[in-house]
Amino acid sequence: MTFNILIPEINSKPKNTKDAVISILTIEWPLTLREIFYKIKKQYRFSCSYQSVYKAVKELSEKEVLRKKYKKYEINIDWIKKVQSLTDIVETNYYAKKRINQFSGLKEHKEVENLIILNFNNLFDAEKYLYYFMKTELFKKKNQIICYQARHEWRPLFYLRAEYNYFTRLKKLGHKFHFLTTGTSYLEDISNQFYKILGIKIAKTEDKNSSDTLIFTDYFIQIFIPQEINQKIGESLEKKDLITLLKILSQKGPIKIIINKDKSLANEMKKQILKKF
């Protein structure tokens, strides 16, 4: 499997014959060699010979970008998944490499040896940071236990396919999840059902800690959300009011994240949470 093929720009005229072949097969498939040739000419008014199309299709097939079925060609789904995976890894690595004080929504930060204190303008920005931080760490490892305790579980209500793929990929790496939540609303039950479908263990607790807690590898992370915002989140979930919930999650308010890299502390806190399952 190779990646030395540039992905064609969507909705633009192909720059070369390989671009044209890939582009046409994203619209219609499977196609014979002759069908590919004529559709390229008609769709893009692209100047190419039948011989050049034959050569491009042959090279793309050899590189496993295309696959042949009964004299017809289509894009190899495995190649698409590999490209998608590579894109995701590159995006995560580049994002994580940025200077932390360039992060959108980050007001200030302090670093003292194995302790990082971050202050964000709103909950969405804080969650975005944690999402990329976790990806950076967990994609490098296997068979880790991730524990999470939250006052309210609203995240799956706004998940896209990318977040679904994120969890399934982490599961394939052998990571195991244990989530604790205090919320009892209908929408939170829906969120918990989503996690259960993914194979994530969910449990309810009456403990209302002063912070949400995330623990994985050697990290013990606390997310401090103002009581007023937590209360509004709970009310909007009870009322099934997603529009108001969105506004609250974007509402300005001091969201503090404390990241403590301490293996013994992380292991002890994991034990405390796992006892509740």
Length of the chain: 277
Judgement on whether residues 90 and 110 belong to the same structural domain of the protein: no
Judgement on whether residues 104 and 199 belong to the same structural domain of the protein: yes
Judgement on whether residues 122 and 86 belong to the same structural domain of the protein: no
- Look at residues 163, 157, 241 and name the one whose alpha carbon lies nearest to residue 193: 157
What is the pTM (predicted TM-score) of this model? 0.63
Q: How far apart are CA 205 and CA 149, in angstroms?
A: 9
Q: What is the mean pLDDT of the chain?
A: 85
- Domain closes at, from 32, 61, 96: 96
CATH code where residue 77 lies: 1.10.10.10
| Sign of the dihedral defined by the CA atoms of residues 116, 121, 127, 133, in that order | negative
Judgement on whether residues 18 and 132 belong to the same structural domain of the protein: no
Domain count, the chain: 2
- Region 84-98 average pLDDT: 57
Phi, psi (rounded to 5 degrees) for 117 = -115, 125
Judgement on whether residues 1 and 109 belong to the same structural domain of the protein: no
CB 139 within 8 A of CB 147: no
Judgement on whether residues 43 and 178 belong to the same structural domain of the protein: no
Judgement on whether residues 196 and 69 belong to the same structural domain of the protein: no
Judgement on whether residues 224 and 269 belong to the same structural domain of the protein: yes
Q: How much is the pLDDT for 101?
A: 45
Q: How much is the pLDDT for 164?
A: 85
**pLDDT surpasses 60 at 31:** yes
Q: Per DSSP, what are the bridge partners of residue 109?
A: 118
End-to-end CA distance of the chain: 43
Judgement on whether residues 78 and 104 belong to the same structural domain of the protein: no
Phi, psi (rounded to 5 degrees) for 31 = -135, 145
CATH code where residue 119 lies: 3.30.870.10
Phi, psi (rounded to 5 degrees) for 73 = -115, 150
47 pLDDT tier (thresholds 50, 70, 90):
confident
Where is mean pLDDT largest: 45-49, 83-87, 164-168, 177-181? 177-181
Scan for tokens 């014959």, then name that residue.
17
Give the CA radius of gyration of the chain: 24
Higher pLDDT: 69 or 113? It is: 69
Judgement on whether residues 30 and 144 belong to the same structural domain of the protein: no
Give the range of the structural domain holding residue 38, as residue numbers without chain letter: 1-96
pLDDT tens per residue across span 147-189: 999 999 999 998 888 888 889 999 999 999 999 999 899 999 9
